[in-house]
Amino acid sequence: MSYKTTLFVVPRDAFNNAEALAAEIAAALSADFSMQDDLYVATTDIGVAWAFHFRSPAMDRQYRPAMARLLMKRSGFATLTHIFHNDQIGLYWFEHTGPSVDCAIGSAGPYLCGWDYDINVDYPQRGFSNDELKALNAKDETLLTEAEYAAIAEYKNAVTIGFEMFYGERPNYLACVHVKEAWRVWTPSDRPTPERVPLDSGWWAVLEPDLPDDLLALDE
């Protein structure tokens, strides 16, 4: 199964349970937020963190940065990670904001880009520039060294690298996509106390971020 989705992640110790997470999201959205349909948040405990994503019939990309700004005003979201995962074309984005860090890592295949990041974990393509990796991809495979082959065939994507840097491991964050229930955190008529409801497939929407040009250029 392939995936194209956008998720948020917060450290596991930020909230005791999913209801507390949903309540903090509802509180964040109570100020300066508007949407014409109900908004739901699907949450999953992925061990080292909580993963969550939003669903609504009216969802589109304009809401992602707006919701991120509102969430980061709340103490529970002092550390917040935004993930874009598209294994259909091998495009990944890991944007992490915390009390002492604000950085992003993007990848398309083995190629990396981003801002203000200093990768301190191992990954097969370490030590090779993007231009060098492109040259390796054009090289006869039988002439590649073991390290060169690993760099272009066994590379780590940006999300895996980011999780290992900031959360210590790469958890199964895509489990969030398969949850069967969600919390209603917004309705146009009032400011609801989060209510747990079954998910309907019609509420699904992918929030694609506005990816930076240097990441999109890697995919060309």
Contact call for residues 83 and 173 (beta carbons, < 8 A): yes
Closest to 14 in 3D by CA, of 2, 1, 23, 3: 23
Q: In the numeric block, which tokens belong to residue 145?
A: 């060294």
**Residue 47 maps to a domain:** yes
Per-residue model confidence (pLDDT) at position 43: 93
**Which range marks the domain in which residue 205 is found?**
4-118+158-218
Task: Return the exposure string of 94-104: e unless at least 16 CB atoms fall within 10 Å of the residue's CB, then b.
Answer: bbbbeeeeebb
**Residue 138 maps to a domain:** no
This prediction's pTM: 0.89
Contact call for residues 104 and 115 (beta carbons, < 8 A): yes
Q: What is the pLDDT of residues 183-210, one digit of tens each?
A: 988 787 766 678 888 876 544 544 555 6
Q: In the numeric block, which tokens belong to residue 130?
A: 């993007």
Residues 68 and 28: their CA atoms lie apart, in Å, by: 10
**Residue 13 maps to a domain:** yes
**Residue 93 maps to a domain:** yes
**Residue 137 maps to a domain:** no
Q: What is the pLDDT of residues 124-146, one digit of tens each?
A: 999 999 999 999 999 999 999 99
Mean pLDDT value across the chain: 85
Number of domains in the chain: 1
Q: What is the pLDDT of residues 59-111, one digit of tens each?
A: 655 566 667 778 888 888 999 999 989 898 899 999 999 888 889 999 999 99
**Residue 199 maps to a domain:** yes
Residues 108 and 76: their CA atoms lie apart, in Å, by: 32
Q: How far apart are the first and last CA of the chain?
A: 24
